[in-house]
């Protein structure tokens, strides 16, 4: 009998030898950038179907690219949401604030004030614009790069910074990794570090809202790599079967922490096309076009509210910087990719649009950027009064055992007493006041 480890050609078998395919990115460090296969299409070219259209009748939208802003910085086509200038300026202001916040928090991590941070540079429209298209009480189930949702919903910056620093002002009491916020008051579900868990949670919440006859829908955000997780596919199944009023937002930013989107399946088809196998409506959208992001999310929200079913939206965008403060993207991708990304920068594109329609100028943009930076700086200094990483200004020790059980069980009471005794033994004169 032939050794199964030997190639077929040596075993006397006429069948051709199998070969394993390993996806390869467009370019590696040191290679010239190659985005020739990225077909962005023309702004305004994609049709906008009625929100009640059956998924099988709009499947081409899962393969094209919904765009509104053209190379002339003007809005084009049926997907133009026709937002008034004041709304556009508000949107631009939120995106500028996100960028200023990211810069300050990144520096804070490098200064040792927190252990971890994740920027969303280049992806701001996928959270800010999309969330502005929802009702303020629609429940959102974000991933870890949607800080723009909280900022757009008016969550206090100081609360975000307290959470990042895990200090005594942190409402989550240091129990979450930095940047994994939670706010019931802002309909913002707790972020989880376990990828894709939020997708079935969002579908379940949406199903519950439908069961109660409520008017609120759910929306969730997930990276393209996380669509390879089982939770994502379970969410799609339940959403389709129960016609859940939910929006599944997939942020295709081309890269995970060290591997490109091909390992999640992008070589074979688009991520929006995954909707078709489940019978979901699928849209593929220019994620660096703030108007297209808004329009697609509003379309999907209207569809869900009318009981016409869930929608999966792929936002085709680009992660301009590292995955996190623990990542160095120069080790796995070309350094020139950011500059040559064909869809540009979302903040710049929205700014240029406002200028093109006579509602903005460079001086006002500079003043806005300065104001955002100053506000973040002042708020950071205020938050630092509550403490920073490792500087002792933390929640009281006993809170470690609280907020899980209504009445503390006996074994935790014993552990709490033992821990308190050990602290008293180690610091007989007491720890510094917290």
Q: Phi and psi of 402, rounded to 5°? A: -100, 170
Range of the domain at 413: 397-426
pLDDT digits (tens, 9 = 90+) for 279-299: 999 999 999 999 999 999 999
Using one digit for the tens of pLDDT, what is the confidence trace for 100-122?
999 999 999 999 999 999 999 99
Residue 111 lies in a domain: yes
What integer is the mean pLDDT of 191-206? 96
Give mean pLDDT, residues 210-222: 98
Lowest-pLDDT choice from 259-273, 315-329, 349-363, 420-434: 420-434
And the tokens for 182?
A: 């939670």
Chain-centre distance for alpha carbon 133: 16
For every residue of 309-326, DSSP letters joined together read --EEEEEE----S-SSTT
Q: Give residue 401's pLDDT band: very low, low, confident or very high (50, 70, 90).
A: confident
DSSP state of 219: E
Residues 311 and 411 in one domain: no
Rounded to 5 degrees, φ, ψ at 260 are -90, 175
Q: Per-residue pLDDT tens for 313-330?
A: 999 999 999 999 999 999
Asked whether residue 283 is assigned to any structural domain, the reply reads yes
Confidence of residue 239 (pLDDT cuts 50, 70, 90): very high
Q: Let me know whether 169 and 261 are in one domain.
A: yes
Evaluate whether residue 233 is within a structural domain.
yes
Q: Is residue 36 part of a domain?
A: no
Name which of 315, 203, 332 is nearest 253 in CA terms: 315
Q: Does residue 219 lie in a domain region? A: yes
Q: Which parts of 306-343 fold into alpha helices (H)?
A: 337-340
**What are the two backbone dihedrals, phi and then psi, of residue 212, each rounded to the nearest 5 degrees?**
-80, -10
233/303 same-domain check: yes
Average pLDDT, the chain: 94
The residue-averaged pLDDT of 149-160 equals 98
Structure tokens at 339: 């500059």
- Does the pLDDT of residue 185 top 70, yes or no? yes
Find the mean pLDDT for residues 59-79. Answer: 98
Closest C-alpha to 275, from 230, 233, 243, 216: 233
pLDDT for residue 406 is more than 50: yes
Overall number of domains in the chain: 2
Residue 51's pLDDT band (boundaries 50, 70, 90)? very high
Six token digits for residue 227? 């669509």
Domain CATH code at residue 268:
3.40.50.970
- Work out the average pLDDT over 170-193: 95
Residues contacting residue 209 through CB under 8 Å, at least 6 positions apart: 139, 216, 217, 218, 245
Q: pTM of the prediction? A: 0.93
Distances (CA, A) of 352 to 95, 100, 360, 362: 14, 19, 8, 9
Q: With the C-alpha atoms ordered 133, 365, 122, 95, is the resulting torsion angle positive or negative?
A: negative
The reply to whether 349 and 422 lie within a common domain is no
Q: Are residues 158 and 234 in the same domain?
A: yes
Q: Write the burial class of residue 344 (CB in 10 Å: 0-12 exposed, 13-18 middle, 19+ buried).
A: middle
């Amino acid at each position: 009998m032939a050794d199964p480890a030997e190639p077929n050609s040596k075993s006397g078998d006429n069948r051709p030898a199998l070969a394993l395919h390993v996806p390869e990115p467009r370019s590696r460090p040191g290679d010239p950038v190659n985005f020739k296969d990225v077909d962005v299409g023309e702004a305004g070219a994609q049709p906008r179907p009625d929100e009640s259209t059956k998924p099988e009748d709009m499947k081409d939208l899962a393969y094209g690219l919904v765009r509104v802003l053209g190379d002339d910085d003007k809005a084009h086509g049926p997907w133009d949401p026709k937002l008034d200038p004041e709304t556009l300026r508000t949107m631009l202001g939120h995106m500028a604030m996100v960028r200023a916040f990211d810069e300050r928090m990144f520096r804070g991590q490098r200064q040792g004030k927190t252990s971890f941070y994740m920027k969303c540079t280049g992806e701001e429209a996928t959270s800010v614009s999309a969330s502005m298209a929802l009702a303020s009480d629609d429940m959102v189930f974000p991933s870890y790069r949607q800080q723009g949702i909280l900022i757009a919903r008016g969550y206090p910056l100081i609360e975000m910074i307290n959470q990042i620093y895990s200090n005594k002002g942190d409402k989550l009491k240091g129990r979450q990794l930095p940047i994994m916020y939670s706010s019931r008051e802002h309909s913002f579900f707790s972020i989880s570090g376990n990828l894709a868990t939020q997708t079935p949670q969002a579908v379940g919440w949406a199903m519950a809202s439908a069961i109660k006859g409520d008017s609120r829908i759910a929306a969730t955000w997930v990276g393209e790599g996380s669509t390879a997780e089982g939770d994502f596919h379970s969410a799609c199944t339940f959403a389709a079967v129960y016609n859940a009023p939910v929006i599944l937002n997939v942020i295709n930013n081309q890269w995970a922490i060290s591997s490109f989107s091909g390992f999640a399946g992008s070589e074979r088809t688009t991520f929006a096309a995954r909707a078709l196998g489940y019978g979901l409506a699928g849209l593929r959208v220019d994620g660096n076009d703030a108007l297209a992001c808004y329009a697609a999310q509003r379309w999907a929200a209207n569809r869900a509210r009318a009981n016409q079913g869930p929608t999966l939206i792929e936002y085709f965008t680009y992660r301009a910087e590292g995955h996190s403060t623990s990542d160095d993207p120069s080790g796995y991708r070309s350094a020139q990719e950011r500059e040559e990304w064909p869809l540009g920068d979302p903040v710049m594109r929205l700014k240029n649009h406002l200028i093109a329609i006579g509602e903005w100028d460079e001086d006002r943009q500079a003043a806005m950027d300065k104001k955002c930076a100053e506000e973040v700086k002042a708020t950071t200094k205020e938050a630092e009064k509550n403490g920073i990483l490792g500087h002792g200004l933390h929640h009281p020790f006993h809170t470690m055992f609280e907020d899980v059980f209504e009445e503390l069980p006996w074994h935790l009471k014993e552990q709490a007493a033992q821990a308190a005794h050990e602290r008293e033994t180690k610091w007989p004169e007491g720890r510094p006041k917290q």
